[in-house]
Amino acid sequence: MIFTTSLLFSGLPIFALTLIVWIGHACFKYHQYERMRVQFGCSPFKHYPSWDRILGLDYVYDMVKAIKENRFLEFQKETYSASGAKVWRANFLGNRMIYSSESENMKAVSTSHGDCFAVEPIRVGNGAITPFPGRGVSSSDGAKWQASRDLVKPYFDRAGYSNLQRLSQHVDRLLDKIPKDGSVIDMQPLFQRWFLDTSTDFLFGETVNSLDKPENQWPFRDMIAVMAGLRLRLQLSSFLFLHRDPEWLAACKRIHVFLDTYIEKAYKQLEDEKNGMQATYASGEARNDFLWTIARQVPDKLELRTQLTAVWIPSNETTSILMSNTLFALARHPEVVQKLRKEILKYGDKLLTFEGLRSIDYLRWIINESHRLYPVSLQTVRACVKNTSLPTGGGTHGKAPIFCAKGDIVHCNRYLMHRDPDFWGSDAEIFRPERWAEVRPLWNFVPFGGGPRICPAHVMVDTECSYTIFRILQNFKAIEPRDDEPYTAVMRVGPSNKNGCKLSFVPA
Ligand code: HEM
Ligand SMILES: *[C@@H]1O[C@H](CO)[C@@H](O)[C@H](O)[C@H]1NC(C)=O
Ligand SMILES: *[C@@H]1O[C@H](CO)[C@@H](O)[C@H](O)[C@H]1NC(C)=O
Ligand SMILES: *[C@H]1O[C@H](CO)[C@@H](O)[C@H](O)[C@H]1NC(C)=O
């Protein structure tokens, strides 16, 4: 007892000294921050009303709780209304986080102020996605990013317009799996298998055909583990070193082995090509998949695997979720289905082409409306790498420029922007494709981001989605919802519906 008390007393001065130094340091940093803010001509802006302003533990706790309870989207809404602003900041484990649902800030981060922001510090710098993808197009900045972007761009520019022929066989298989007797089917897992099949076909030149052979779904299950791990790792940010996850590493390893099989085959075919043997698919058609397009420019196997994963990772849980959400909404709006079916029947049996699909306005409105209400990617997140300002969010009216310091992490929230009644009107929460007849939202609607880092797959995604919806409604005249649950987002890397998409179909 005497021992501990004396220890306590002898420890006290050191504790007090540490505290004083620490408080002094915090004051100094605050002072510097304020000085820079004024220098940049910026106004103060709101702080999230948390009681722990040092580590933000109450905020962290609330966020983790919301994710666990599948209330992350509601949490986003609540935090914005709690701070009473469209732009605010919070302390998250010692990092200053800026949250914005203003389109002007989204635009600045993505375009004009782009060089003040980076993704590497949040995706690679802290080890969040190493040992997974290394530095490819979605995880690098500067010259490395530009080189990777140049490497992958030509494929996507072409694929958006030209893959319908190959897409059709996957959609045929999907249509086969939809019951014709009206029995209930959950479309979400079916779309996931469909997407795994199309994306392995387009990216690696060979489909895993999981629609016919569900046991081939394992990369999909490993990817779920990888993505779920990733989300946690991204959230943990600077505390990542505390987190060890052998399961996650094992899933990463299996995915690597999976990719290496394709890579080795591509290298082998490149060798054969030198000897005059053209690389073809089983059908006899010349190879033109993503891997094949980039393999000849990337002779290093590790680098090639990195470039592949950096494209494969952001593709995960995207197109499939977009399609599932679209059908979820369609099933609940029979009048929209009937109107769309009229357009589809009007198109008739003509060969379905990219231009043909683009000519059906109502189909495009529906897909935009689905992107708007259920954005597959919730936010654009960037680390600030150079002191700068953002155009709006400060001052008494929340419209003055705000200061963004090096090290701050900016979150531009798409979900709230897409449902902002100030822009979309009082029916912002309602699925109403007709609104696209008038509205021209520019930066208020950015499902794929914008500027130089816009999703390179955006044309391909919308083509695949319109094609598939077209084919489904060509074959079925009505879609009925078969569960009463509301859309409940569960978070992996993006949100997907916890209850899936249970429907029944009426054949045409
Ligand atoms: C519904 C489908 C999809 C949506 C909504 C979507 C959305 C996005 C968004 C918002 C970004 C970030 C843009 C930014 O940081 O400003 C992005 C980046 C990216 N997406 Fe997609 N995406 C989808 C599907 C895909 C698919 C299928 C692929 C690949 C096959 C893909 C590949 C990429 C890549 C490689 C990047 C990184 C680009 C860069 O940093 O330069 N995406 N996507
Ligand atoms: C950036 O702003 C911080 C204040 O947050 C300041 O301490 C630092 O000196 C500034 N850096 C530059 C290069 O001006
Ligand atoms: C759908 O949204 C995109 C932006 O992603 C826009 O360019 C396009 O005009 C919209 N389509 C229609 C038919 O309004
Ligand atoms: C990726 O993993 C997700 C689960 O998060 C799964 O739904 C999807 O099929 C996978 N897709 C690809 C192309 O790997």
Q: How confident is the model at residue 11 (pLDDT cuts 50, 70, 90)?
A: low
Ligand nearest to the CA of 438: 3
pLDDT for 14-41, tens place per residue? 778 888 888 888 889 889 999 999 999 9
pLDDT value at residue 347: 96
| Residues contacting residue 344 through CB under 8 Å, at least 6 positions apart | 360, 363, 470, 473, 474
Q: How confident is the model at residue 236 (pLDDT cuts 50, 70, 90)?
A: low
- Ligand 2 pocket test, candidate residues 27, 34, 36, most atoms within 8 A of CB: 36
Tell me, in angstroms, the distance from the centre of ligand 4 to residue 251's CA: 13
The rounded distance, in Å, linking the Cα atoms of 11 and 7 is 6
Phi-psi category of residue 160: left, alpha or beta, with phi > 0 → left and psi -120 to 50 → alpha: alpha
pLDDT value at residue 7: 54
Ligand 1 touching residue 315 (CB < 6 A): yes
Distances (CA, A) of 189 to 173, 186, 289, 308, 320: 14, 7, 25, 24, 9
Nearest CA owner, ligand 1 atom 28: 315
Element (H, E) at 173: helix 164-177
Closest by CA to 411, choosing from 176, 18, 44, 86, is 86
pLDDT for 121-180, tens place per residue? 876 544 445 555 568 888 899 999 999 999 999 999 988 887 788 899 999 999 999 999
Query: Which residues on neighbouring strands pair with residue 480, listed in sequence order?
Result: 504
Tell me, in angstroms, the distance from the centre of ligand 1 to residue 318's CA: 8
Tell me, in angstroms, the distance from the centre of ligand 2 to residue 47's CA: 20
pLDDT for 211-235, tens place per residue? 888 776 666 666 666 666 665 555 5
* 501 annotated as ligand-binding: no
The rounded distance, in Å, linking the Cα atoms of 94 and 64 is 16
Distances (CA, A) of 3 to 6, 9, 10, 16: 5, 10, 11, 20
pLDDT for 314-363, tens place per residue? 777 799 999 999 999 999 999 999 999 999 999 998 999 999 999 999 99
pLDDT value at residue 126: 46
The rounded distance, in Å, linking the Cα atoms of 312 and 134 is 13
- Three-state DSSP string of 246-283: HHHHHHHHHHHHHHHHHHHHHHHHHHHHHCCCCCECCC
Give the global pTM.
Answer: 0.89
pLDDT value at residue 46: 93
Percent of the chain surpassing pLDDT 90: 59
pLDDT value at residue 169: 92
The rounded distance, in Å, linking the Cα atoms of 137 and 453 is 9
* DSSP code per residue over 71-88: -HHHHHHHHHHHHTSSEE
Structure tokens at 118: 């980076």
| Residues contacting residue 465 through CB under 8 Å, at least 6 positions apart | 319, 322, 323, 326, 367
Tell me, what DSSP letter sits at residue 286? Answer: B
- Angle at CA of residue 339, ends 460 and 447, nearest 5°: 30
Structure tokens at 446: 């950015």
Ligand 1 touching residue 457 (CB < 6 A): yes
Work out whether the CA dihedral 206, 209, 210, 215 comes out positive or negative. Answer: negative
Please state, as a whole number, how many other Cβ atoms lie within 10 Å of the Cβ of residue 179: 12
Tell me, in angstroms, the distance from the centre of ligand 1 to residue 246's CA: 28
The rounded distance, in Å, linking the Cα atoms of 445 and 415 is 10
Which ligand 4 atom is at minimum distance from the Cα of 219?
Answer: 14
Mean pLDDT of the chain: 88
Tell me, in angstroms, the distance from the centre of ligand 1 to residue 138's CA: 8
The rounded distance, in Å, linking the Cα atoms of 441 and 309 is 33
Interval 203-215 mean pLDDT: 85
Query: Which residues on neighbouring strands pair with residue 411, listed in sequence order?
Result: 99, 381
Phi-psi category of residue 90: left, alpha or beta, with phi > 0 → left and psi -120 to 50 → alpha: beta
pLDDT for 43-75, tens place per residue? 999 998 888 877 888 888 888 888 888 888 889
Structure tokens at 154: 């030509």
Nearest CA owner, ligand 2 atom 11: 387
Nearest CA owner, ligand 1 atom 6: 448
The rounded distance, in Å, linking the Cα atoms of 295 and 264 is 10
pLDDT for 239-283, tens place per residue? 555 555 667 777 777 778 888 999 999 999 999 999 999 999 888
Contact criterion met (CB below 8 Å) for 75 and 63: yes
Taking the mean position of all CA atoms in its chain, how far away is CA 139? 13
pLDDT for 489-502, tens place per residue? 887 667 888 889 99
Interval 409-415 mean pLDDT: 95
The rounded distance, in Å, linking the Cα atoms of 325 and 411 is 24
Contact criterion met (CB below 8 Å) for 390 and 404: yes
